Amino acid sequence: MNTHAVNPWVALAYLIAGVLFILALRGLSSPSTSRMGNRFGMAGMLIAVVTTLVTHDIAGLGETLIAIGVGGGIGWLIARRIAMTDMPQLVAAFHSLVGLAAVLVGWAAFLNPSAFDLLVVGDIIQAGNLVGIGTTIAAASRIEMALGVAIGAITFSGSVIAFLKLAGKMSGAPILLPGRHVINLGIIVAIVVLTALFATGNVAQGEYFAALTVLAFIVGFLLIIPIGGADMPVVVSMLNSYSGWAAAAMGFTLHNTAMIITGALVGSSGAILSYIMCRAMNRSFISVIAGGFGADSSGASGDAVKTDRPWKRGSAEDAAFMLKQAENVIIIPGYGMAVAQAQHALREMGDMLKAEGVNVKYAIHPVAGRMPGHMNVLLAEANVPYDEVFELEDINSEFAQADVAFIIGANDVVNPAAKTDKGSPIYGMPVFDVGNAKTVMFIKRSMGGAGYAGVDNEVFYMDQTMMLLSDAKKMVEEIVKALD
């Protein structure tokens, strides 16, 4: 299959692709350089794909072009039609496809090892007994194959659950199974044992390979289903890491350097991002991998919002008047802004306030939205200047000097229960100290719904809070009219 494995130009092409992938990750670390980062990534992938097609006898030119055309056409169509509000579940769906591809490649290599140059001369063992010498799959290739299939299957089933939760097709609340940690640990141990048995067996012992594949699909489901609420962005990031490691493992099976490099970069960067987000949320990184975080919701302060408590309602005119009088305004966007597609109206409101001499800043929580960087992308789409957007640790101390904290579509990330209620599912997660602002404006559809974590919010009932009950986009547009 591999006809030019020692060609130095192939190694050079893959090296260039790897460098471009590294530059892509570097560019994607900042909104101001993200477009260039995307271009580097696209160029690197083009070089890697073309090099692989030229140097490997995979299929005929016509078949290859048809496959590229179909896949590229579907991707182009989805990218054109997808709304930013659906981006998190789209990312989860794409992760599932990467995992499924790893499983299919692993099984293809197992069923037809000669096509992948995996056969070596060695002992043939049946039922633990040496029966002769012949061609068999090398033990190292078996381990690589098993790891790729196992990680890919976990990625696939876990990503499917994440997609269903993010798309609202199943409850976003944690679904807790009795003894889930023991069950997960037992299945993972079984997968390791089956991998060892598969590595020391022969081609005919496919039952081990099939069993570990099925168990990997099951444990992926079990790891993600107990997770919900504000922890979903970390899940998306971790699944991204899993998809990278699955690709890297398949790269070893296919003897493809580009896949190994790309998979390792995606896997390690996803893991690092997950670690950073866990620290930002005061979560344990190990508990993310174990699928046990965000699941102890039985002691939550309650799913029912206490609407019988006193609260103050304001209008767009009230909000516009107070915003005009302010000197410092901090805007906190959340998923509700994404659902309402209010980012453009919000940017217009910010521009009008700046024209009145108001200092406007945007505060982004690490887990705002449903995936890492969701709010940054939305604000960039609306052409909000990058220097006006700040992360939690950089702006949280400024709420004490803020005249107005303007919350649009956020909830859990401003909920003080994260600091005060040890029984809350979001306890320990750093939140914005909006209560320190002189005035809090909270845009919300109604008082009858809690945040994604299902927790009531004390901010609704503070003396300085004015509730603006409406669709986020409609309310902001009305405020813009009142400002004008």
Scan for tokens 């993200």, then name that residue: 34
CA 96/CA 243 separation, integer angstroms: 8
Strand partners of residue 466:
441
SS (H, E, C) 62-86: HHHHHHHHHHHHHHHHHHHHCCHHH
CA 113/CA 248 separation, integer angstroms: 18
Strand partners of residue 124:
132
Cβ–Cβ < 8 Å for 418, 429: yes
CA 72/CA 66 separation, integer angstroms: 10
Strand partners of residue 330:
361, 405
Angle at 286 between CA 280 and CA 288, to 5 degrees: 65
Q: For residue 175, which of 21, 63, 292 has the smallest C-alpha distance? A: 292
Cβ–Cβ < 8 Å for 381, 417: no
Cα dihedral sign for 159, 164, 167, 171? negative
SS3 label, residue 416: coil
DSSP single-letter state for residue 122: E
DSSP single-letter state for residue 113: G
Half-sphere exposure at residue 409, Cβ-oriented, CA atoms within 13 angstroms: 25
Among the options 57, 318, 412, 471, which is catalytic? Answer: 412
CA 46/CA 254 separation, integer angstroms: 19
349: enclosing H helix or E strand: helix 343-355
Q: For residue 189, which of 197, 200, 201 has the smallest C-alpha distance? A: 197
CA 317/CA 47 separation, integer angstroms: 56
Is residue 412 among the annotated active site residues? yes
Cβ–Cβ < 8 Å for 378, 333: yes
| Beta-sheet pairing, 404-408 with 328-333 | parallel
What residues are annotated to the active site?
412
